[in-house]
Amino acid sequence: MSTEQKNLLKQAEKCIEPIKKAEKALIISHIDADGLTSAAIASKALSREGIKHKIDFVKSLEPKKIKEIKKHQIDLILFTDLGSSLTPQLKKIEPDIVICDHHQPQHEPNEKIWELNPHHHGINGSTEISGASTTHTLATTLNPENQETADLAIVGSVGDIQDSSGKLIGINREILKKAQENNIIKTKKDIRLFGKQTRPIHKLLEYSSDPYIPGITGKEENCIKLIKNQNIPLKKEGKWRRWIDLNEKEKKAIVSSLINKALEKGISEKMINRLIGEVYILQKEKPGTELRDASEYSTLLNATARYNHSKTGLQLCLGKRNQVYKEAKNLLKNHRKNLVDGIKYIEQKNTQKLENIQYIDCENKIKDTIVGIVAGMALGSNKINRNLPIIALADKNEDKKISARTTQKMIYKGVNLGEAIAQAAETVNGNGGGHNIAAGATIPKTKQKQFLKKLDNLITNQIKN
């Protein structure tokens, strides 16, 4: 274990002190797969200690939100997958505050609150540890029996695309190793498209949206052709075959013709790394369900949380099935369609270029809660320039939601979206932050132009320095 990791564990020891004293708590978490799994890990840990608690989900933690927090009769608020952007405001809240976040902190650690954030210890929260993994670190420090929920930490990490190099690294990997020893997770090198467990093979290819493969994504006929060209039967005994039904030879044949197709269409090698890589199989879950595969599980969770159904996703994480699972699957259908439509919209309308960013105003055509996911996927499209960070805007009531995504290559050049977005948002009375590779903000609609100009300047300076 590195010194940095040891220091994080030391801080976790401190952060469990107020939890040990608590009787009634409130968990506040983020509405995405990482936030949901974080909340579930925290909830199970609190239950194990006999601490009564409620759980709230928020889109983002804005200063005005803090006033709305109902803090009566609780002695602890536990923030998961958010909180670090607002430490000065949070210290004014009465009960004890514990934060488990992995977003870039905007402020120095504050003695009035217990904050577990990898960035304070020199650990990269964008790539090495998710909100769920940070919460898992706290939970296992509190009680080693919480190792049991390691699978949720992996689902959260994959949900935050921390496996984008082809596999999980850093503390996520340490958690993974333990989970493998405990037979909670198995890993495998495999195709990383959505639906390996559940979809007919041609549908798996057709709905591939991350990466988006021109000529394959959304093109059912071409997908069927690609499979038939390899002499692979689509059906067996009258039933559609799924990816998990194929033998290794068949899988290899499809993968190599898919890669050829992608290369032919100008998909970069980085994106192909996203296509084939390590996959995480949850041993407690039933084969043939989305829940069996960490990536599918995380998409299923996003499909609930991003559409105001966080509680459904949370119930899934807490082990409820039947009706809850059915409900989530229905939401998923709608989510997948919105993602494919969103990408098509960005490709057709295309981005506007400033000096060092490109932006697109999606207005109300893409929901503010998924515009970030779509922007990230758009960087995999050969119609979008990968050498400029993409800034996608969407209407959010009277405000504008901003989602920014970039590539590892741009980060090597100095780009840090989280910092730039936080600063640019502040100059227009907005609020934002995030990671170097992915960040977001909410700003007043009328300040859009000013914001983009400021952001462009900031990023230009980041690249120059």
Task: Give the residues lining the site for Mn ion (CB under 5 A).
Answer: 34, 81, 131, 160
Nearer to Mn ion, 38 or 315 (CB): 38
Nearer to Mn ion, 62 or 81 (CB): 81
Q: Give me the least distance between CB of 173 and Mn ion, in Å please.
A: 17
Q: Give me the least distance between CB of 30 and Mn ion, in Å please.
A: 6
In the 8-state DSSP scheme, what is residue 381?
S
CB neighbour class for 67 (10 Å; exposed up to 12, middle 13-18, buried from 19): exposed
Q: Give me the least distance between CB of 130 and Mn ion, in Å please.
A: 5
Nearer to Mn ion, 198 or 436 (CB): 436
CA 372 to chain centre: 10
Question: Which distant-in-sequence residues (6+ apart) come within 8 Å of 437 by Cβ?
Answer: 126, 127, 405, 406, 407, 408, 411, 417
Nearer to Mn ion, 34 or 419 (CB): 34
Task: Supply 231's token pair.
Answer: 């002499």
Q: Is 134 helix (H, G, I), strand (E, B) or coil?
A: helix
Nearer to Mn ion, 102 or 196 (CB): 102
Q: Give me the least distance between CB of 437 and Mn ion, in Å please.
A: 12
Q: Give me the least distance between CB of 431 and Mn ion, in Å please.
A: 17
Q: Give me the least distance between CB of 101 and Mn ion, in Å please.
A: 8
Distance CA 20, CA 40 (A): 18
Distance CA 408, CA 436 (A): 9
Q: Which residue number has the CB closest to Mn ion?
A: 34
Nearer to Mn ion, 149 or 208 (CB): 149
On the CB side of 108, CA atoms within 13 Å amount to: 1
Question: Which of 43, 170, 173 lies closest to 100, judged by CA?
Answer: 43
Q: Give me the least distance between CB of 171 and Mn ion, in Å please.
A: 13
Residue owning tokens 């590779």: 437
Nearer to Mn ion, 275 or 441 (CB): 441
Distance CA 423, CA 458 (A): 8
Asked if residue 123 lies in contact with residue 137, where contact means CB atoms within 8 angstroms, the answer is: no
Distance CA 250, CA 253 (A): 5
